[in-house]
């Protein structure tokens, strides 16, 4: 029932190592979050899975090393182990991964921007091809009439009806 000081220190050391291991296991999840900036359900599911695994491992450790008892200093040791990782090795890993990700994602983003601009041009050409001829013709005439010095939409409609340049058609948005 009672433990010696040596046994308590041994348990604290084991739980500090476990906290360090949890922090190491969290690092890939953190890198994915920095790289892709996910939102919503992915973050919730990833956190739930990680915390569930941590809880189960902590419970198994407390059964093995604590003889079935869960003591408060286990939590303190877990936090201490994780803090040691994040304040030492984690900083180095974090700065290195950010540099690598900036280079890699920068190159990927540059290629993606180039492909997206080509894709936008193709979509715009096809969108213009899908417009009805009446709409294109009316729009062209409207631009010419406005270019002649007419100021507002009402003047354009009056000019279009008097010159009989408008084809009456039902035009829907594309």
pLDDT at 32: 82
d(CA 86, CA 145): 68
pLDDT at 150: 45
Q: Residue 67 has which token pair? A: 């003889």
pLDDT at 54: 92
CA-based nearest residue to 94, from 148, 152, 26: 26
Cα torsion 13, 18, 21, 26 to 10°: value is -130
Kindly calculate the radius of gyration of the chain based on its CA atoms and give it in whole angstroms.
Answer: 33
Q: Residue 124 has which token pair? A: 């715009």
- What is the average pLDDT value for the chain, to the nearest integer? 78
Helices (H), the chain: 5-36, 41-65, 72-87, 89-130, 133-147, 153-162
pLDDT at 19: 94
Question: Which residue's structure tokens are 């303190």?
Answer: 76
- Domain ranges in the chain? 5-128, 131-174
Q: Residue 10 has which token pair? A: 């041994």
Whether 38 has a pLDDT exceeding 90, the answer reads no
pLDDT band at 98 (very low <50, low <70, confident <90, very high): confident
Instruction: Report pTM.
Output: 0.57
- Give pLDDT tens digits for 54-94: 999 999 888 888 777 888 888 999 999 999 999 999 888 88
**Cβ contacts of residue 24 below 8 Å, gap of 6+?**
85
Running DSSP on this structure, what letter comes out for residue 66? S
For the segment 121-150, the average pLDDT, to the nearest whole number, is 60
- Give pLDDT tens digits for 149-174: 444 566 556 655 554 444 555 566 65
d(CA 122, CA 112): 15
């Amino acid at each position: 029932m009672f433990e010696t000081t040596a046994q308590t220190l041994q348990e604290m050391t084991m739980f500090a190592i476990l906290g360090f291991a949890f922090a190491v296991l969290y690092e890939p999840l953190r890198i994915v979050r920095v790289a892709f900036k996910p939102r919503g359900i992915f973050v919730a599911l990833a956190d739930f899975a990680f915390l569930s695994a941590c809880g189960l491992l902590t419970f198994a450790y407390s059964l093995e090393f604590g003889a079935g008892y869960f003591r408060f200093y286990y939590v303190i040791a877990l936090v201490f182990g994780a803090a040691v990782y994040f304040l030492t090795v984690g900083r180095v890993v974090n700065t290195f991964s950010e540099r690598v990700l900036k280079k890699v994602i920068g190159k990927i983003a540059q290629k993606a921007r180039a492909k997206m601009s080509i894709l936008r041009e193709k979509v715009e050409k096809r969108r213009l091809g899908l417009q009805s001829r009446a709409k294109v013709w009316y729009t062209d005439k409207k631009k010419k009439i406005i270019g002649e010095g007419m100021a507002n939409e009402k003047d354009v409609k009056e000019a279009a009806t008097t010159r009989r340049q408008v084809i009456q058609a039902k035009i829907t948005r594309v």
